[in-house]
Amino acid sequence: MKKKRYQDLESRIRALLAEPGYEGHPLREGLDVLWQHTVEQLERLERISYLSDAFQSMARQRERGMVERYDRELRRLAKIVRISDGYQEMMRNVNAALKESSSRDPLTNLLNRRALMELMKDLSSRPRALSGGFVVAMLDVDHFKRINDLYGHDAGDRALVELAEVMRASVREGDHVGRWGGEEFLIVLPQVCLADGEAVIDRMLACVRASRIQIEGDSLTLTVSVGIAQHQDEESLSNTLSRADRALYLAKQAGRDRVALESPDLPG
């Protein structure tokens, strides 16, 4: 509508300026100058709106680009975090596996000496009223040297593995059976008095005695001797262990395949 009006005006002015009859008229020159000025102003206006539009679309594009880049970076960051968490979890699992393997005896898969010590330290650091106290049982396989001499060390190792399984299966659920070294084992019995501990060990001795261990086609009966001692408040761990060791010696002296006690009240 506006364009039409402008076109009409333009053709009217041009017609007036082209009319030879107005040649030399003072208003004609004025109109000519005014018209040229108007045309220039219009061109300028058009240029300005063109530039302004261009800037606006550039700014919009830039904004869109920034949003895209931001989204991309966000996705990238999420990926880094996800993968990094994966590596951390992997490290944790490796640590757990290492801890597990460092606390096990590789032959019998029972707790090893280090793990037993840690366990007993932990138990002894708690007041007996809270932890319920604990009894340690020191075990030695009777005449084990004969098996090694007769059948060789590999067979001896296999016998230890079978024996370990029998012992582990015949104590209470919360008792900890470990290999102390060679043919020596140690059982930690938490929350138990000396007499009850003795009963647990007696049952275990019966299971060991009743089981037949197959070696090189022979069916053998193994027995173990056990010395037990109850850890006393304020007593050092090494003292409890040497009392159990002394009781073990008594069990061996008394004819093996039995449990002997070391009561803290007895001189020794």
Partner 1 sequence: MKDLTISASQSTPAITTDAAEGRMTLRGDSYPENSFELFGPVIQWVDEYLASTEQPLTITLELQYLNTSSVKAMMDIFDLLEAAHGDGRDVSVTWYYDSRNERVGELAEEFKEDCSFPFAVVSR
Residues labelled catalytic: 183
Residue with tokens 């990926």: 79
Q: What angle do CA 223, 228, 233 make, to 5 degrees?
A: 165
Is residue 208 within 8 A of residue 163, CB to CB? The reply is yes
Q: What angle do CA 85, 89, 92 make, to 5 degrees?
A: 140
Stretches 78-86, 131-139, 213-221, 230-238: which one binds partner 1 (CB under 8 A)?
78-86
Identify which of residues 42 and 97 has a Cβ nearer to partner 1 in the complex: 97
Going along the chain, which residue ranges are E strands? 134-141, 176-181, 184-190, 213-215, 218-220, 224-230, 259-262
Count of residues interacting with partner 1 (CB under 8 A): 13
- Contact between 80 and partner 1 (CB under 8 A)? yes
Minimum CB distance to partner 1, residue 100 (Å): 16
Minimum CB distance to partner 1, residue 98 (Å): 14
Query: How is residue 150 annotated by DSSP?
Result: H
Identify which of residues 5 and 82 has a Cβ nearer to partner 1 in the complex: 82
Q: Quick one: which of 86, 132, 152, 181 contacts partner 1 (CB under 8 A)? A: 86
- Contact between 91 and partner 1 (CB under 8 A)? yes
- Contact between 79 and partner 1 (CB under 8 A)? yes
- Contact between 95 and partner 1 (CB under 8 A)? no
Query: Could you list the residues that contact partner 1 (CB under 8 A)?
Result: 76, 79-84, 86-87, 89-91, 93
